[in-house]
Amino acid sequence: MTQLLLWMITAYGMSNIVVYGSIFDRPRNKINKLASDESSFFKDFWVFIKDMTSCMMCFGFHGGWFLSFTLFSPTTEILGTSPYISWFFDAMLASGSVWAINSIIEWFETNRP
């Protein structure tokens, strides 16, 4: 259970750094510039990356399958799913947990006394 909780917090931390972190300001600005450039060769790709890096739930999904491949697969270890499909369920788990943690934090930020 502790591994699952740490995995979800890791997914949230990774998503939070990419979506809101100042360390990624320059790459995000470059991606936004490429996505808005009509003459860009891979414009649709850059629009996809721009949308992904501006949404906690979206990046949580993609970060979740990355964590599943590189770090630990909670659905394989806990539920015993096949390693070949667990990346998808891990991505959904990460997306949901990142969204839930982010929603709780945003609620506290807007409802400060």
| DSSP secondary structure letter of residue 77 | I
**What percent of the chain clears pLDDT 70, i.e. is strictly above it?**
98
pTM: 0.86
Residue 7 pLDDT > 80: yes
Q: Which domain range does residue 39 map to?
A: 2-110
Question: For 60-94, what is each residue's pLDDT tens digit?
Answer: 999 999 999 998 899 988 888 888 899 999 999 99
Alpha carbon distances (Å) from 76 to 61, 80, 85, 89: 17, 4, 9, 9
Distance in angstroms (rounded) separating the CA atoms of residues 69 and 64: 9
Task: Quote the number of domains for the chain.
Answer: 1
Distance in angstroms (rounded) separating the CA atoms of residues 27 and 42: 16
5-9, 32-36, 52-56, 107-111: range with lowest mean pLDDT = 107-111
Three-state secondary-structure class, residue 60: helix
Q: What is the mean pLDDT of residues 10-22?
A: 94
Residue with tokens 């990355």: 66
